[in-house]
Structure 1
Amino acid sequence: MNDFGSEVRGALKAQGKSLRGAARELHYDVAYLSRVLNGKQAPSAELTQAINEYLGLSLSVADGSSHDDEMDAWELARRVQASDVGKATLERLEHAFDGLAMAYPKAKPEDLLRQVRKHSAYVVKLLDGKKTLSERRRLLVVGGWLSLLGATVHIDLTQDDAATARLETAATLAREAGHSEIEAWCFETEAWRVLTDGDCIQAVDLSRAAQQIAPANGSAVIQATAQEGRAHARLGQGKETYSAIERVQALSASRGTPETPEHHYRYDPAKALSYTATTLAWLGDVSAEPYAREVIRRLSPSNDVSQWPRRVASAHIDLALVLLKDDRLDEACHSAQKAILSGRVVPSNHWRALEVVRAVEARQLPEGTDLREAYQGLKATEP
């Protein structure tokens, strides 16, 4: 335990990082982290993995140091089966991932990341045990999905280094398992990350790479096509943008609505609406309005913003941009205010809210002061 604390403290000092800063970046209470480093409490597998990623270490946790009830229960069932992995354990892990992917649209990124770390750590443990070739592949696949989801959450939190590491891990596991759907999602997710950084040309290239390797009957090919369209829109390339929108709508319609449309990695017509609204709004096409309004109507049946999927906040931003272009200023400011104050705009999308704020300020509208204040409050909530 003391070795664990000494290693971490030494790495923090060598990298010029503080304990409080580490706690903030890793989303842990500083008092808890201090107890662990002082040997007063055992580090969990989840914390150990988080510290390894943050500091570039390769620490491990001694057997028995993690007291997570869920993992303990799974471990007992696994041992009873006289197998190092077992069908039931794999099914539970796969079900757990699906639950996390379905929670993604509404969950707080920090909370979701903790769950991803916990389950990823368990996959690592099982990979070290005896298993059949079939079990190994299933572990690689669920590990790949978890790493991909973790990367997506890191992007939402604007944690680029951690996102890159998890994307590389997901891609490696996908190639090892021969799972082209996960690998295609890795390219698409990286396309979104560079698009948020303003590199639209690379976003187009990555989106096209994803489409080339994605299975024809999966969701990654649709998402990658949508991402290509958004990148073209940012570049002001109308012909290419409209072509991508048409392809997304055709592909999405051919799939129909899946049983779990809220699942982040299963495309459905509602997602096509959202991406069409954003893409057209970025292109400056006022025909984005009905798409944005339809997203809001479908996904926010009440005014309880805590129940909004994040797509509703994005749709309000899209709507504000279009209304500004159409000189419907009061409506635009109201829509932007609702999005910013909803608490549903993740850090990776703060720049989109800022676009609206700046557009309102450029017109010297009196609402600009209130919007700027709301935006500053939004920025203050960044982890």
Structure 2
Amino acid sequence: MRAKSSHNLPTDSTLLRNWRRWESGESRPDEFYAPIIAAAFDTVPAAFFPKARPNRDDELLSATGMDTLEFIGRLRMSDVNSATLDAVRITAERLCCEYAYADPHELHAEGTAWLRRITSLLDGRLTLSQHREILVLAGWVALLVGCVDYDLGHRAGAEATRRAADSLGREAGNPEIVGWAAEMSAWFALTQGNFRGAIDVSEKAMAGTTSMGVGVQLAAQRAKGWARLGDRRAVQTALDEGRAILARMGHPADLDNHFVVDATKFDFYAMDCCRVAGQDRLAERYAQQVIKDSTRPDGSVRNPMRVSEARLTLAVVAVRDRDLERAVEEGVAAFTAGRKSLPSLAWIAGEAAREIIERFPGDPRTQSFLEQLRSLNVG
């Protein structure tokens, strides 16, 4: 800590007493100590000491003066004012931030209910700016619902909601929502083995998104497609394009939002491409970093779906190293996360399974892994 601080610190015994209190949870490092501790571990304070999310009603009350019941009552009366729009905005943001860890069935039900409430406001008397903002907020929630639909294996519902989001984005003149709708189409295509389709969709959507986070994601989806078609140069070009967009963007304020892209997310994309390209050591390093970035200091996982794919990457690397025991261990661990994107998980696990079968076709442990894979309920 002393090496990372430009200020004089207390004696070692005092620091040790403080450390024990922090470690036990008795107290929390203040704004002076938190950056020093984070720097000692080569990270940022937000990674070690994330701000607790406020209670939903508290969040609404502090921003709008309304609790949830009053807010819903106003929506039913189509009473749209700045406070109502603020409350809708907070709710849409919260839903998008819960994507990574919330129970998908519950999130889908809540997201769908809010989408109906928000779109019902379009039937009321609105100013032009209110109309546009409601379209935008409905677009974000529709994107979220479509993603969760697909995670649950509901392909038809996901595609219908994706198209609705695209329509809302176009009507609102919001290129970011339109870009994410295209990104979802590329994601769907990839997990269904339509790699050329994913590349084409991503390329067409890139033009209007080169200064947005979704542009990074589109470049990554393109890279994933090219990786599976065996074109390493195209993979590198796409990844370089994504990195360039990321470098031009400021560091996002809220990394919990599913539709926010940051450097840690890009490591996740690069991991996939390196694994497919056979760059095992690099893929392994990326996977380890993804797991580290997705795990809180207390050991809980903030991004279980990313961790699952990272474990499958480690499984592939292990089987290529002729370590079937570790490969199966990592692979089975990938299936245990409570929060899953079933099509994505089945896709990557299927790729891992082919590697395992190729090298250890008759081994009972191979059969054990395949049985676990078959148990995934993908629509």
- TM-score interval (norm. to shorter): 0.7 to 0.9
Residue equivalent to 1:309: 304
* Pairing partner for 1:355 from 351, 354, 359: 351
Where does residue 346 of structure 1 map in the other structure?
341
Q: What aligned pairs does 1:111-126 form with structure 2 within 5 A after superposition?
A: 111-126=106-121
How far 1:202 moved relative to its partner? 0.8
Alignment of 1:61-80 (within 5 A): 72-77=69-74
Q: CA deviation at 1:303?
A: 9.0
CA distance in 2 between counterparts of 1:126 and 1:372 reads: 49
CA distance in 1, matches of 2:343, 2:300: 19
Partner Cα separation in structure 2 for residue 155 and residue 362 of structure 1: 30
- 8 Å contact kept, 2:186–2:198: yes
| Displacement of 1:174 | 0.9
What code does the residue aligned with 1:352 have? I
Indicate the SS of the match to 2:182.
Answer: helix
Provide the residue aligned with 1:213 in structure 2: 208
CA separation in 2, counterparts of 1:86 and 1:333?
56
Of 199, 205, 209, 1:204 maps to 199
1:368 aligns with 2:366: yes
Residues 1:279 and 2:277 aligned together: no
Equivalent residues of 1:85, 1:131 under 8 A apart:
yes
- Residue 218 (structure 2) pairs with residue 224 (structure 1): yes
**1:193 aligned to 188, 202, 205, which one?**
188
The answer to whether the Cα contact below 8 Å between 1:288 and 1:318 also exists between their aligned partners in 2 is yes
The one of 148, 158, 163 aligned to 2:158: 163
Letter in 2 for 1:133: L
Amino acid at match of 1:331: R
Deviations 1:79-137 (A, max 9, x none): 89xx7311111111111111111111112221111111111111122111111101000
Residue 93 of structure 2 is aligned to residue 95 of structure 1? no
> Which one-letter code corresponds to 2:366 in the other structure?
G
Listed as ranges, the gaps of 5+ residues in structure 1 are 1-69
Q: 1:102 to 1:355 in 2, by over 3 A?
A: same
1:41-80 alignment to 2 at 5 Å? 72-77=69-74
The answer to whether the Cα contact below 8 Å between 2:104 and 2:339 also exists between their aligned partners in 1 is no
1:294-333 correspondence to structure 2 within 5 Å? 294-301=289-296, 308-333=303-328
Aligned CA distance change for structure 1 residues 75 and 298 (closer, same or farther; 3 Å):
closer
Q: Residue 246 of structure 2 aligns with which residue?
A: 252
Provide the C-alpha distance between the structure 1 equivalents of 2:326 and 2:240, rounded to a whole number of angstroms.
29
- Could you list the per-position Cα deviations for residues 146-180 of structure 1 after superposition, in whole angstroms to 9, with x for gaps in the alignment? 11111111121221211121111111111111101
Query: 1:183-236 deviations in whole A, cap 9, x for unaligned?
Result: 01111110110111111001001011121122x332111110111101111111
Contact 1:306–1:342 under 8 Å retained in 2: no
How many pairs are equivalent?
310
Give the distance between the partners of 1:126 and 1:288, measured in 2 at CA: 47
TM-score (ref. length: structure 2)? 0.76
Amino-acid identity (%): 30
The one-letter code matched in structure 1 to 2:176 is: E
Map of 2:258 onto structure 1: 264
Residue 213 of structure 1 aligns to a residue in which SS? coil
Name 2:31's counterpart in structure 1: none
Deviation at 1:306, TM superposition (A): 6.6
| Alpha-carbon distance in 2 for matches of 1:109, 1:176 | 28
- Closer/same/farther in 2, CA of residues 254 and 360 from structure 1, 3 Å limit: same
Amino acid at match of 2:279: D
Q: Distance in 2 between matches of 1:343 and 1:355?
A: 21
Is the 8 Å Cα contact of residues 256 and 269 (structure 1) preserved in structure 2? no
1:357–1:299 CA distance, 2 compared to 1 (3 A):
same
The normalised TM-score by structure 1 is 0.75
Matched to 1:264, the amino acid is H
Aligned partners of 1:313 and 1:344 also within 8 Å = no
Distance, in Å, in 2 between the alignment partners of 1:369 and 1:301 is 34
Residue in structure 1 matched with residue 232 of structure 2 by the alignment: 238
8 Å contact from structure 2 (residues 143, 181) kept in 1: yes
Opposite residue 100 of structure 1, the aligned amino acid is: L
Equivalent residue number for residue 335 of structure 1 = 330
Contact map agreement 1:317 1:339 (CA 8 A) in 2: yes
Instruction: Out of 205-214 and 224-233, give the one that drifted further.
Output: 205-214
Partners of 2:324 and 2:298 lie apart in 1 by 22
Residues of 2 paired with 1:285 and 1:117: CA distance?
41
Given that 1:210 and 1:220 are in contact with CA atoms closer than 8 Å, whether structure 2 keeps it comes out as no
Is contact 2:191–2:343 with CA below 8 Å preserved after alignment?
yes
Counterpart-to-counterpart distance in 1, 2:337 and 2:365: 17
- SS of residue in 2 equivalent to 1:258: coil
Please give the residue correspondences for 1:3-22 in structure 2 after superposition, counting only pairs within 5 Å.
Answer: none
1:340 partner amino acid: F
CA distance in 1, matches of 2:298, 2:374: 23
Q: Distance in 2 between matches of 1:325 and 1:247?
A: 30
What residue ranges of structure 2 are gaps of 5+ in the alignment? 1-66
SS at match of 2:319: helix
CA distance in 2, matches of 1:304, 1:310: 15
Cα deviation digits, residues 25-51 of structure 1 (max 9, x gap): xxxxxxxxxxxxxxxxxxxxxxxxxxx
